[in-house]
Structure 1
Amino acid sequence: MSAASSDSLQYSEDQRDCLQEICNVAVGQVGDTLARKLGVFVTLPIPAINIIKAEQLSQSLKSFSSSAGIYAASQLFTSRQDGSELSGLALVMLSEDSLSDLKELMPELANTDALITETCCNMAQTCLDALSEHWGLGFQSEAPKLVRHESLKVVCESVVSSWKNILVVEINYHLEGRAFNGDLLLLFPDQAIEAMAQRLDELLA
């Protein structure tokens, strides 16, 4: 059977509104957690939600760019309920300047790998916990996996190399008065896009 196109997987207006509302609440919780952890005000826009072809991921990240390499960590997560499975990948990306800011704000984590891993846990796990609560799903996460200092394009290709279509929830963060620019991406492949649509319909019923 041929893979479905991204056009055929698009959500209805009601499904998108429901998903946007839930993500907005989750983002607020992540921003609050990060602000308390770092001791600075966190600014964040409304999450961007799109269903795209996997190879378009790096070009789609309008709010995140870096001429130099970026630092990243990925974290697989899965929910298994009623015999069905919904899996995805959380990807935290940090610019060069972001790393410098984090080293200053979290001096107890001088090691770069530890700093990236801790930031991934703070951002990704808090968001997944919030989504689990509102969706009624119990996401179980694996330990973060570091993606070494690479270009944005290489990082994106490395984590979605075998995927066809992706539901992308992009959450971009800035720290007030600093050069920090971080992205938290929640990436859901084809089968998860369809499973998510069913869950949204249940919430809307």
Structure 2
Amino acid sequence: MSQNLRIPLPHPAADTPLGHVLRSRRSVRQFSGTPITLAKLAQLLWAAQGITDEAGKRAAPSAAAQYPLRLYIAVGDVSELPPGLYAYDPQQHALSPLETTDLRPALADAAIGDQPWVNEAAVVIAVAAAVTAIDTHFATQQPDGRRGARYAYVETGALCQNVHLQATALDLGMVLVGGFDDAAANAALPLSAGEETTALLCLGRV
């Protein structure tokens, strides 16, 4: 078949609810500084890792349903929630307080180059992956026992897209930060053994 052949496709249905959100989604790096509501934060966290059925499946797909990702939420400006660091519990759809310190400045320091939006966002959701555990689970798969880490990175991407689309639907701004010093980001967060930071999601009102 000729590589020059082009088959026209039906026009995308951008007027559907999902189509509208996909068309509207953009990275936002400037925030108003006003708080977001606890209800909107809850919706964002559910879109990221929330339980979606009685079998315990979550909003983002996971290889072999291992769910190696954990969310650490650096809160700065959320109504009804004191600043500090929290962990999201998908099973209970609840937050567990970890620290009373605002960790946004530390995460901003970990960012590569000048990325002021990390410190200016109302909330930074840090995604961490239990890479050691997921590598062990998929140790018999190539390449060289690191297939699990690849699955964790793919899952991180799916989670980030979920949150970005949900933020757009909630009229919030978001930018995904992947450029950060791994060691500095890991040190800023109270990670468990074998966990690594895989993404920083900066969210706020625009």
TM-score, shorter chain, exceeding 0.5: no
> TM tier, shorter chain?
0.3 to 0.5
In the superposition, the TM-score normalised over structure 2's length comes to: 0.38
In the superposition, the TM-score normalised over structure 1's length comes to: 0.38
Kindly indicate which of the two structures has a greater share of residues assigned to helix: 1
Report which structure shows greater RCO (CA 8 Å, sep ≥6).
1
- The structure with more radius of gyration: 2
